[in-house]
Amino acid sequence: MTPRVDGIGAGRVGLALHARARRAGLAGTLVGRDTGWEALDAPAGTPVLVLTRNDHLDAVVDRVPPHRLPDLVVVQNGMVRPWLARRGLHAVTRGLLYFAVPARGDDLSPGPEPSPFSGPHAEAVVAWLTALDVPAVAVDDARFRALELDKLLWIAAFGVLGQAFDVPVGAVCDDHADTLRALVAELASVAAPALGVAVPPGGADAAVDALVASLCAYSRSIPDWRASVKEWPWRNGWFVEAARAAGVTLPVHDALLARVGLP
């Protein structure tokens, strides 16, 4: 039997998932800004996908009944772990969504890889998404951290490069490969330790080559997508603050930010 999964956030992703769940006849409530919150008064034990923007996370957690906080499944992009620690949510289920919803009301378009989940509700969420024909996989914590590093680097690097050179993500790989590699090396040196991801055998150069290959493989699956710098505190802004706190410099990143008029 497919488990019940509720969701918070009636934006593009929430609406697309809820529409698929309705078509599949699956139980679950989509909680909007002013509707559906009573569903979270139910007993603990079933997953609650958090599908809002990062900047709304605090407001969501403040409104979720305390007994349901362990049921949250956090799928936001960017460096979310410091926020989770501040809110005492380090043990909740995490996920990365590898699909796109072009516009509100559209169906989702699955990406080239299954969406990974890790934590207490990972298996339940994977079963639910699989029932919706959305590829998903449960992974252990180490694997999830490595995938989290990939996605963090992708959104930060391709966002600033795409905006700086006014090109889609496929052209970043094809026309700005040297700058991309230098940027990934810089950013990975800050993000990998923060995420607890060790440099694999072969050394730092081999690790950067593997990261760039992974990031470009994804970019070439959506070559015309135009990325830009968004959600500053969670993405590029996090790198600026983390580097400053560590006493290191990110000259390639800083130069690209200056080119787009950001600090």
**CATH number of residue 184's parent domain:** 1.10.1040.10
- State the pLDDT confidence band at 64, using cuts at 50, 70 and 90: very high
pLDDT of residue 263: 85
**pLDDT digits 0-9 by tens, 236-255:** 999 999 999 999 999 999 99
69, 48 in Cβ contact below 8 A?
A: no
* Same-domain status, 69 and 171: no
Q: What is the pLDDT confidence band of residue 109, given thresholds at 50, 70 and 90?
A: confident
CA 179/CA 166 separation, integer angstroms: 14
CA distance 169 to 12: 22
Domain of residue 193 covers: 142-259
Neighbours of 53 (CB within 10 A): 14
Together in a domain, 27 and 150: no
Lowest mean pLDDT of 74-83, 102-111, 198-207, 242-251, name the range: 198-207
Cα(first)–Cα(last) distance of the chain, in Å? 51
Residue 1 domain flag: no
Last residue of a domain, one of 116, 139, 162: 139
Q: Do both 195 and 153 map to the same domain?
A: yes
- Per DSSP (E only), the strands in 82-155 are 93-95, 99-100, 109-110, 115-118, 136-138
Q: pLDDT digits over 171-222, tens only?
A: 999 999 999 999 999 999 999 999 999 876 666 888 999 999 999 998 998 8
27 and 85 in a common domain: yes
Residues 152 and 128 reside in one and the same domain: no
CA distance 239 to 98: 23
* Separation of alpha carbons 263 and 256, rounded Å: 10
The domain total for the chain is 2
- Collect all residues with Cβ–Cβ distance below 8 Å to 244 and sequence separation of at least 6: none
Among 105, 139, 173, identify where a domain stops: 139
The pLDDT score that the predictor gives to residue 111 is 82
pLDDT, tens digit, 9 for 90 and up, residues 119-167: 999 999 999 999 999 999 999 999 999 999 999 999 999 999 999 999 9
Same domain, 10 and 133: yes
Are 88 and 183 part of one and the same domain?
A: no
Structure tokens at 227: 């990325």
Give the chain's mean pLDDT.
95
Same domain (yes/no): 178, 76: no
What is the model's pTM?
A: 0.94
158 and 46 housed in the same domain: no
DSSP 80: -
Residue 241 C-alpha from the chain's centroid: 19
Question: What are residue 88's phi and psi, to 5 degrees?
Answer: 70, 30
Is the pLDDT reported for residue 38 higher than 70?
yes
- Domain of 28, CATH number, reads 3.40.50.720
Cα(213)–Cα(75) distance, integer angstroms: 24
The predicted pLDDT at position 201 comes to: 63
Identify the pLDDT of residue 102.
Answer: 84
Point out the domain boundary residue: 139, 171, 187. Answer: 139
